A and B are shown apart, each in its own frame.
Chain A
Amino acid sequence: MISVRKLTKEFKIPVKPPGMKGAIRHLIRGEYKVKVAVESVDFSIEQGEAVAYIGPNGAGKSTTIKMLTGILKPTSGEILVNGIDPQRHRIQNAKNIGVVFGQRTQLWWDIPVEESFALLKNIYEVPDAVYNENLKLFNEIFGLSEFIGRSARKLSLGQRMRADLAAALLHNPSTVFLDEPTIGLDIGTKEAMRELIQRINREKGVTIILTSHDLKDVEDICRRIIVIDGGRIICDKEISQLTKEYAMDRGLQITLLDMQKELPARLLGQEGISYAAMEDAHTLEIHFKPEMYTAFEIVEEVNKYARIQDFRLREPSIERMIEKIYRSGEQSA
């Protein structure tokens, strides 16, 4: 169980004018610019939840994760991870958590993966039975045995991330933090990573906190979304709840035979049409309330003003929901 109260992180960025003179001035005056990366964030996560922590680049996701894992000291606010303050009791907290950062490996570069695992086994004091059982599971899903004898340096990115995730899970952590774990990976590795994360969440009740730009990760693994933007939380909801709310709007993509610049404005004026815009010269994107129109009625309506070549219904996807959350977040900010 994780609880976060009024969590804020400010970075002091040194203001160093260029040149020797600037460096000396900085040394004497110690001028800093303050960058607020995370601002008064609140949430709590129960054991066994799978939560997606998403937001645009620079939103403050990694900074939050680094505070939860004991790497960074909060400027203010309170964090408890399984009842432990991760900054003050770093070692105690580290025993219970697993961490994967997509861009960097957690393994030792120059020693065989197998030896890295053996080292981690001792560091985390993993009992033999647990260790062997876990290796068997990872092998089944990841095919580890193919490359376990090689050093991390000699692995492909896909193999390295498999090894990395396995290394983070060796000691049966109760909570796992995954910061962009699938970034840059091939489809096959992504699928395998999702499968393993899903399994430990569903079968072992491991808490998952995941950041990702690949919304397929979110769809497959998570049941709840927390959206952060500009350091502030702008949405925290169950995905099923979101789908209900946003599914009220249906979407149609209509390809027109002729250019129609003024068409969206004309359609938007009508009640029950929440969004209409030209995606490009010939493609109209339109969102409508299903209780007021059927898709065919919309097509007929558009057909009054323009000739239609093609159209298709757009599924209410997480991606579109998140676009809307960002948009409404910007409006309220």
Chain B
Amino acid sequence: MRTIRIFFQMTGANLRGLMSFKTDFLVSFFAGLLSQTIGLLFLSVLFQNIPAIAGWTVYEVAILYGYMFFGEGILTLFFQGTNGLWHQVRLGDIDRYMTRPISLELQICGRQTNLAGAGTALTGLAVMLYSFGKLQISWNLWKAILFVVSLILGAGIRVDINFASSALAMLLEGAGGIKGAIERVQEMGKYPLDIYPKVFRIILLTLIPYAAISYVPAVVLLGRAPYPYFLLLPAATLLIIGLRKWIFAKAMERYEGAGN
């Protein structure tokens, strides 16, 4: 509880800090909106040439986009600090966190707040709600609960993948590009899993579970798979949390300070 309170106090202070630059504040919000809109334009152009991808229509694929946008938005808005751990090592930030009586993870997460994420997350939500409407999904209480749960767990997975890959780069002492490579895999979460070879499908559901963010809840909500299929989402969540904790612990075990 105390952890959550301190996290929100940090985020609040970050936001107030951002607000002192009023134009920046608005510009970054709309930049978030705009960049995702460009992604959607790409989607609509794609579907002008082909009627469906692996049997998925444009609004169905748009739901996958929406999930990925939402996760990215929450990551950018509240958990931007999980980026660039290796950089934080060299800046001496980690040294500083270690002299404070709260967890390192909390301080890393609360380090930075970026309002562009609000624009991104809102675009994601809007795309999903609009597409659900177009698809005339029949809602019931169960589906509504699953939808909310999938948004929360999905965003959590997104943050944990980011944290884990950032910690991996820290463990490998900045090993160029590893974080960026994992980051780019997220594009694969925007399309139905069925189009990928089997190895990729397994990776996207376990080690780098972007498909658990989007595809897993979408197939259930769209009625393409039975309800129990949804359980892949909490399973992937637990797995990535474990993975993130393990990699971060390894990185901290090897930690030798900021150097000089």
**Residues of chain A from 84 to 127 with CB closer than 8 A to chain B in the complex:** 90-92, 94-95, 97, 99, 101, 104, 106, 108, 110-112, 115-116, 118-119, 122-124
- Asked whether any CB of chain B lies closer than 8 Å to the CB of A69, the reply is yes
A119-B102 contact, Cβ under 8 Å, with A62-B260, A66-B257, A71-B95: no
A293 smallest CB distance to B (angstroms): 46
Bound state CA distance, A91 and B2, in angstroms? 15
Bound state CA distance, A104 and B98, in angstroms? 14
Which of B11-19, B38-46, B130-138, B194-202 lies at the binding interface?
B11-19
- Asked whether any CB of chain A lies closer than 8 Å to the CB of B9, the reply is yes
Q: Is the CB of A123 within 8 A of B95?
A: no
Please name all residues of chain B whose beta carbon is closer than 8 Å to the beta carbon of A231 when the two chains form the complex.
Answer: none
Please name all residues of chain A whose beta carbon is closer than 8 Å to the beta carbon of B96 when the two chains form the complex.
Answer: 104, 106
- Asked whether any CB of chain A lies closer than 8 Å to the CB of B10, the reply is yes
Please name all residues of chain B whose beta carbon is closer than 8 Å to the beta carbon of A14 when the two chains form the complex.
Answer: 173
- Asked whether any CB of chain B lies closer than 8 Å to the CB of A151, the reply is yes
- Asked whether any CB of chain A lies closer than 8 Å to the CB of B5, the reply is yes
Which residue of the partner chain A has the closest CB to B172?
A: A27
Please name all residues of chain B whose beta carbon is closer than 8 Å to the beta carbon of A123 when the two chains form the complex.
Answer: 6, 100-102
Number of interface residues of B (CB under 8 A): 25
Please name all residues of chain B whose beta carbon is closer than 8 Å to the beta carbon of A119 when the two chains form the complex.
Answer: 6, 9-10, 13
Please name all residues of chain B whose beta carbon is closer than 8 Å to the beta carbon of A91 when the two chains form the complex.
Answer: 101-103
- Asked whether any CB of chain A lies closer than 8 Å to the CB of B92, the reply is yes
Q: Which of B6, B13, B20, B92 contacts A101 (CB 8 A)?
A: B92
Question: Most chain-A Cβ atoms within 10 A of its Cβ — which of B6, B101, B255, B257?
Answer: B101
Q: Which of B17, B98, B102, B257 contacts A151 (CB 8 A)?
A: B17
A70-B17 contact, Cβ under 8 Å, with A11-B256, A122-B6: no
Please name all residues of chain A whose beta carbon is closer than 8 Å to the beta carbon of B101 when the two chains form the complex.
Answer: 91-92, 94-95, 123-124
Which residue of the partner chain A has the closest CB to B98?
A: A71
- Asked whether any CB of chain A lies closer than 8 Å to the CB of B140, the reply is no
Which residue of the partner chain A has the closest CB to B104?
A: A90
Q: Is the CB of A115 within 8 A of B99?
A: no
Please name all residues of chain A whose beta carbon is closer than 8 Å to the beta carbon of B14 when the two chains form the complex.
Answer: 110-111
Q: Which of B10, B17, B95, B102 contacts A112 (CB 8 A)?
A: B17
**Residues of chain B from 101 to 149 with CB closer than 8 A to chain A in the complex:** 101-103
Q: Is the CB of A110 within 8 A of B95?
A: no
A115-B16 contact, Cβ under 8 Å, with A72-B256, A101-B92: yes
Chain A interface main SS type: mixed
Counting contact residues on chain A (CB < 8 A from B), the size range is 20 to 34
**Residues of chain B from 162 to 189 with CB closer than 8 A to chain A in the complex:** 173
Which residue of the partner chain A has the closest CB to B5?
A: A122
B72 smallest CB distance to A (angstroms): 22
Which residue of the partner chain B has the closest CB to A23?
A: B175
Bound state CA distance, A14 and B257, in angstroms? 15
A326 smallest CB distance to B (angstroms): 21
Which residue of the partner chain A has the closest CB to B253?
A: A73
Q: Is the CB of B99 within 8 A of A97?
A: yes
Q: Which of A70, A72, A111 contacts B16 (CB 8 A)?
A: A111
Please name all residues of chain A whose beta carbon is closer than 8 Å to the beta carbon of B17 when the two chains form the complex.
Answer: 110-112, 115, 151
Q: Which of B6, B16, B100 contacts A94 (CB 8 A)?
A: B100
Q: Is the CB of A94 within 8 A of B256?
A: no
A71-B99 contact, Cβ under 8 Å, with A110-B17, A111-B13, A111-B17: yes
Please name all residues of chain A whose beta carbon is closer than 8 Å to the beta carbon of B260 when the two chains form the complex.
Answer: 62
Q: Is the CB of B9 within 8 A of A99?
A: no
Bound state CA distance, A124 and B2, in angstroms? 11
Please name all residues of chain B whose beta carbon is closer than 8 Å to the beta carbon of A73 when the two chains form the complex.
Answer: 255
Bound state CA distance, A168 and B139, in angstroms? 55
Bound state CA distance, A177 and B113, in angstroms? 31
Q: Is the CB of B13 within 8 A of A69?
A: no
A124 smallest CB distance to B (angstroms): 6
Contact with B along A10-43 (1 / 0, CB 8 A): 0110100000000000000000000000000000
A216 smallest CB distance to B (angstroms): 24
Please name all residues of chain A whose beta carbon is closer than 8 Å to the beta carbon of B95 when the two chains form the complex.
Answer: 66, 71, 101, 104
Bound state CA distance, A99 and B100, in angstroms? 9
Q: Which of A71, A95, A112, A115 contacts B257 (CB 8 A)?
A: A71
Bound state CA distance, A206 and B103, in angstroms? 26
A130 smallest CB distance to B (angstroms): 16
Bound state CA distance, A70 and B99, in angstroms? 7
B67 smallest CB distance to A (angstroms): 31
Bound state CA distance, A90 and B94, in angstroms? 13
Bound state CA distance, A118 and B14, in angstroms? 13
14 contacts across the A-B interface (CB closer than 8 A)? A66-B95, A69-B98, A73-B255, A94-B98, A101-B92, A106-B99, A110-B18, A111-B17, A112-B16, A115-B17, A116-B13, A119-B13, A123-B100, A123-B102
Which 9 residue pairs are nearest across A and B when measured between Cβ atoms? A94-B101, A111-B17, A110-B17, A99-B99, A111-B13, A115-B13, A95-B101, A104-B92, A71-B98
15 more contacts with CB within 8 A, not counting A69-B98, A71-B98, A122-B6, are: A11-B256, A71-B257, A90-B98, A91-B103, A94-B99, A101-B92, A110-B17, A110-B18, A112-B16, A115-B13, A116-B13, A122-B5, A123-B100, A124-B101, A151-B17
* Residues of B near any A CB (own CB < 8 A): 5-6, 9-10, 13-14, 16-18, 20, 91-92, 95-96, 98-103, 173, 255-257, 260
